[in-house]
Amino acid sequence: MSNQLLSMGSQSKPPVLLANEYQQWKKRMIQFLNHKSRDYMESITSGQVNPMIRVPGQTATETSPEIPDRFVPKPYQYFTEKEKELYKIDEEALIYLTMAIQNDIYNRVDSRSSAKEVWDELSRQFEGSEA
């Protein structure tokens, strides 16, 4: 299949990013993701859901200092249904993004863990700054 056909994508397959065609790819990718669900671009813009839970602190005693309340990431099994839905949307957006980039470009972003992080890194690499 020619690079031109790959870079255009289809309704079921995302357009493939070619290094010298980032601006065209970005527009096509936004259209593709919005066609699938507007939630994907919302997740890319807002970032992955990161629910936190409060761990209560402890008052000082004769043998230990006061420990203030703190917030830690909530384990997935304790996510609300809405949080699970938002998490899934980000995972799907990340899948579409990674499907849309060739291996040489993928190797530059594979350490990123959310769709927003991948999108921002691609923007930084091809536009020179974060989106």
Per-residue pLDDT reduced to its tens digit, 89-117: 999 999 999 999 999 999 989 999 999 99
The span from the CA of 1 to the CA of 9, in Å, is 11
pTM score, two decimals? 0.79
Given this model, what pLDDT does residue 130 score? 47
The span from the CA of 129 to the CA of 65, in Å, is 45
Given this model, what pLDDT does residue 70 score? 94
In a domain, 92, yes or no: yes
Q: How many domains does the chain have?
A: 1
Write out the DSSP string of 6-74: HHH--SSSPPPB-GGGHHHHHHHHHHHHHHH-HHHHHHHHH-----EEEE--B---SSS--B--EEEEP
Given this model, what pLDDT does residue 5 score? 47
- 11 Cβ partners below 8 Å, 6+ apart? 35
- The parts of the chain modelled with pLDDT lower than 50 are 1, 5, 130-131
Given this model, what pLDDT does residue 129 score? 55
The range of the structural domain enclosing residue 10 comes to 3-46+76-127
In a domain, 38, yes or no: yes
